Every structure is written in C-alpha cells, then in structure tokens.
Chains A and B, each alone.
Chain A
Amino acid sequence: QKEVEQNSGPLSVPEGAIASLNCTYSDRVSQSFFWYRQYSGKSPELIMSIYSNGDKEDGRFTAQLNKASQYVSLLIRDSQPSDSATYLCAVKGIGSQGNLIFGKGTKLSVKP
C-alpha cells in the first residue's frame, strides 16, 4: 500500500516566521512531488512541484526533496495570516498513469 504521511497539526507560527511542513512517502520509485494548499471550504490549489533532489524556490515558498530519505518538505518564509490553510502533499510514481497519492494534510495557522 503506497502511503504519504503528514503531521496533521495544527502547526501554529507567528506572522513573519518560517513555517516548515513535512511529508514522507513509502514508494521508493516515486518521481513527482506536489504541494497543494486548501483553504477552508475551497478546493486544493497547486502551489509547488518538485522532481529532483534539492531545493526549489518560488517566491516565499521553497520545496525540498530528499529521495534517499523519502522525504519532501515545504518552507514558507515570512508567513502571513493569509497562508493559514491546510497543506496537502501529493506523490506520483512511475507508471501510476496519472494517479496521485495524497497525504491527509497539515493545518497551518499563522497568528498575527
């Protein structure tokens, strides 16, 4: 059974701090990794994708991937109250024919 694990939280950080969200996955041959943000009552929205080991930066967001440790993380710098949402980690493997395996999400709360 392919699994994606996330700490459910809630993770609470003060405004301006760095929020660190973590995700582990069980399928060693996973190739593509995605972070989605979901506001309460809304649909998941893609915010980051990463495919190779290392860091990928996009504005205040940095995704980090370590395939040897089967670990992917999302850092949010200068956290804002508007970043308060649930963050879903999703993983796609070789031959998955498009299917993503989602974690249950980490709820982030940024306090003003």
Chain B
Amino acid sequence: DAGVIQSPRHEVTEMGQEVTLRCKPISGHNSLFWYRQTMMRGLELLIYFNNNVPIDDSGMPEDRFSAKMPNASFSTLKIQPSEPRDSAVYFCASSFWDSNQPQHFGDGTRLSIL
C-alpha cells in the first residue's frame, strides 16, 4: 500500500511568495497531522485534523499559515506571504483515530525561502 504522499519534495522560492504544500494520507486513515522540523526547535506540530475537521491549530505560528482538508484524501498547508524563517522541513503524517495507533510520516517537503 502507498504511504503518505507529499509534494513537492523540495521548494525554493523568494520571500513574499505564496507556498502550497500538499499531502495525501494513507487510505482509510482518519487523522492527519502537519509538522515542521528545524534543528533548533525539533519536530513541531502545526495542526491536525480528524475526519477532515481541524481539531487543534494552536501550533500554527502566524496567520500567514493556513491548512485545509477538503476531503479524506487530500490536505494543503499554505504560507502566504512566505518569510526566510519559514525555511524548514514540513512533514505530513496520518493515522487512525485511536489512542493505540501510531502516526506514519510522509517523506517531507524541504522548504527554502530566500
């Protein structure tokens, strides 16, 4: 079975541009998570969805960040306008909504804002 699929794998863009990251969760999983990872701060949870509904977005750093999950098989994380400090690796993960179930991660998007 296919794992979590993220696109693009790498994104380099200039400050001020809009960035859209995409994620397709594992089929059947009903929870989806967006993380950001940097050397300084480690793995940070940005937002997560259960059954396509945002549950907790307290990790979203600023209003410049937004996330949507229009259906069970697709989610986007958008940054507008982007800033150099947004440079990081962004991971999407999915799982079943059950306390015993682990999360499975996509390969990540390496974002560089110049």
Contacts and interface: CB of A to CB of B under 8 A. Distances in A.
Interface of A: 31-32, 34, 42-46, 49, 51, 88, 90, 92-100, 102-105
Contact of B91 (A34, A43, A105): A43
Interface string B79-108: 000000000000100011111111111111
B100 A32 contact: yes
Interface in B46-66: 48, 50, 55-56
Closest 7 CB pairs of A and B: A98-B31, A104-B42, A43-B105, A102-B43, A46-B102, A98-B97, A34-B102
Contacts of A104: 42-43
A97 B97 contact: yes
Interface of B: 31, 33, 42-43, 45, 48, 50, 55-56, 91, 95-108
Contacts of B100: 31-32, 49, 51
A97 B50 CA distance: 8
11 contacts: A43-B107, A45-B105, A46-B104, A49-B102, A51-B100, A90-B102, A98-B97, A98-B101, A98-B103, A99-B33, A100-B103
B59 to A, nearest CB: 10
Given A31-B99, A31-B100, A94-B99, A99 B108 contact: no
A32 B56 CA distance: 20
A31 B95 CA distance: 16
Contacts, number: 65
A43 to B, nearest CB: 4
A34 to B, nearest CB: 5
Contacts of A94: 99
Nearest to B3: A43
A43 B48 CA distance: 18
A105 B37 CA distance: 12
Contacts of B98: 98
B12 to A, nearest CB: 16
Given A44-B105, A102-B42, A92 B91 contact: no
A93 B37 CA distance: 22
Nearest to A48: B102
